[in-house]
Structure formats: C-alpha cells, structure tokens
C-alpha cells in the first residue's frame, strides 16, 4: 500500500508527522490489549514507544525507512535496550525512493539476524495495515450521494418525533396499521374504477353490435 493511501485509510492528518504515525502504532497495540507508553525516558534518550507486546518491546518510529534511517533507529534502540531484555523494533513506511528500497530491505534483513531486533515496514505488512482500507470518503468521491433534507415537522424536529415514538411504541404500531388500511382502500378503489371502465367498455361494444 502506498503511504498516501495508508495515511488516508488510517485517518491521519494530510500533513502528518512522525508523531501521528507513533500514535497510530500505539493505538493499534492498545486495541489488541497491550499496555503502551510513549516518549519514555530511557538510558539518556526518549523511546518513542515502550509496550508489553512480545513480552516487552521498545519501538523507534521513523516516517520513512531507508538504509540510513534504519541504521539511525537501530543505534538509538541499542542505547534504549541496555540493561533490559526488551525486543527492539524499528517501524515506519518503506522509502518512496525506488532506488533505495532494495538497500532498505537488505539492511532490515541483516539487522533481523539478531532475534532481538526487527524492522517493520508498516505499509507492506498486512497485520499493520489500516482496517478501513476502503474508506467512505473514497466511495463518496466516485459515487456522490444526493443531499437529502427531512421535511419540517410540527413537533419541532426529528429528535422530538423519535423520542415520542420511543416512549410510545404503540403509536408506531397504530401509524403502520393506519397506512396499511389506507393502502388497502386505495387498492379497492382502483379495482372499482377498473370494473367501472370495463362496464363502460362493454356498453360501447354492445351498442356497436346493435
């Protein structure tokens, strides 16, 4: 998924920052039942995210991951990981530069030879993609819906009407029954009109024979 599509589907600001991506990751972890702390003082620095995910994890977030940014994040994590056994994870989008993507993936593969460390490219790993990939905003651009307005009600507004119906469910039953009777009467009238015209038609036919 392109980072721009990811940002839209995840509901991040148009001019998103690294902080917004950090909050997205923290939110995803919380929704899966993990405890999360952000901007945690750690060995002379500040870890972006510390969580009990995977038994304890320190996460360094970068907007885009190329070879250099992965090295930078990995250096920070090695500092944060001193005197603890937490997993060390780098997270961010795979760089948009096609010429740099292969080196970024290779660097990530080298770093992951250490079982304690991992690099996650958010926009290419299925489990981290936004759940709402097909947003209503996109659908509305392709299939614009007409603007509908409710008629003015004597009761003041729709909320008042709904409140009345909720408090008196029998009222709704009576209204439905009334509409059914009206519909039935219309049907009977239509049948009578048809019969009437049929009789007239038959009269004209009989006069022609005479």
Asked if 6 contacts 93 with a C-beta cutoff of 8 angstroms, the reply is: yes
Compute the average pLDDT of residues 196-207.
50
Q: Work out the pLDDT band at 151, boundaries 50, 70, 90.
A: very low
Q: Is residue 62 located within the same domain as residue 20?
A: yes
Q: Is residue 11 located within the same domain as residue 110?
A: yes
Q: Is residue 21 located within the same domain as residue 46?
A: yes
Q: Which two tokens mark 117?
A: 């460390």
pLDDT of residue 185: 58
On the 0-12 / 13-18 / 19+ scale of CB atoms within 10 A, 208 is: exposed
pLDDT of residue 203: 47
* Greatest CA separation for the chain: 116
Q: Is residue 102 located within the same domain as residue 45?
A: yes
Q: Is residue 87 located within the same domain as residue 61?
A: yes
Whether the pLDDT of residue 186 is over 50: the answer is: yes
Which residues are paired to 115 by β-bridges? none
Domain final residue pick, 142, 169, 195: 142
Q: Work out the pLDDT band at 202, boundaries 50, 70, 90.
A: low
Whether the pLDDT of residue 189 is over 70: the answer is: no
Which range (99-113, 180-194, 196-210) has the least confidence?
196-210
> Helices 169-209 and 158-167 meet at what angle, rounded to 10?
100
Whole-angstrom distance, CA of residue 144 vs CA of residue 141: 6
Asked if 92 contacts 63 with a C-beta cutoff of 8 angstroms, the reply is: yes
Helix boundaries (H) for the chain: 3-10, 18-31, 67-80, 98-111, 136-142, 158-167, 169-209
Whether the pLDDT of residue 64 is over 70: the answer is: yes
CATH of the domain at 55: 3.40.1350.10
Compute the average pLDDT of residues 128-132.
84
Q: Is residue 80 located within the same domain as residue 168?
A: no
Give how many domains the chain has, as a whole number: 2
Q: Which tens digit of pLDDT belongs to each residue from 71-125? A: 999 999 999 999 899 999 999 999 999 999 999 999 999 999 999 999 999 999 9
Q: Work out the pLDDT band at 56, boundaries 50, 70, 90.
A: very high
pLDDT of residue 43: 84
**Range of the structural domain that residue 176 is part of:** 158-209
pLDDT of residue 45: 87
Q: Which two tokens mark 78?
A: 């090695």
On the 0-12 / 13-18 / 19+ scale of CB atoms within 10 A, 93 is: buried
Whether the pLDDT of residue 61 is over 70: the answer is: yes
Whether the pLDDT of residue 25 is over 70: the answer is: yes
Whether the pLDDT of residue 145 is over 90: the answer is: no
* pTM recorded for the entire structure: 0.62
Q: Rounded to 5 degrees, what angle do the CA atoms 88, 119, 100 make?
A: 140
């Amino acid at each position: 998924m392109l980072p721009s599509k990811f940002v839209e589907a995840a509901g991040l600001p148009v001019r998103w920052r690294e902080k917004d991506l950090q909050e997205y990751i923290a939110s995803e972890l919380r929704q899966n039942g993990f405890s999360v702390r952000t901007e945690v003082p750690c060995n002379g620095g500040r870890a972006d995210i510390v969580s009990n995910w995977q038994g304890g994890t320190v996460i360094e977030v970068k907007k885009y991951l190329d070879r250099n940014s992965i090295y930078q994040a990995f250096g920070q994590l090695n500092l944060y990981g001193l005197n603890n056994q937490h997993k060390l994870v780098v997270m961010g989008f795979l760089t948009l530069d096609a010429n740099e993507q292969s080196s970024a993936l290779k660097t990530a593969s080298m770093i992951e030879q250490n079982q304690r460390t991992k690099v996650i490219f958010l926009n290419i790993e299925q489990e981290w993609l936004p759940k709402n990939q097909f947003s209503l905003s996109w659908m509305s651009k392709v299939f614009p819906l007409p603007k509908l307005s409710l008629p003015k009600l004597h009761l003041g507004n729709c909320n008042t009407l709904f409140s009345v119906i909720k408090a008196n469910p029998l009222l709704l039953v009576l209204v439905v029954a009334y509409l059914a009777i009206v519909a039935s009467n219309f049907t009977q009238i239509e049948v009578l009109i048809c019969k009437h015209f049929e009789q007239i038609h038959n009269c004209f036919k009989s006069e022609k024979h005479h």
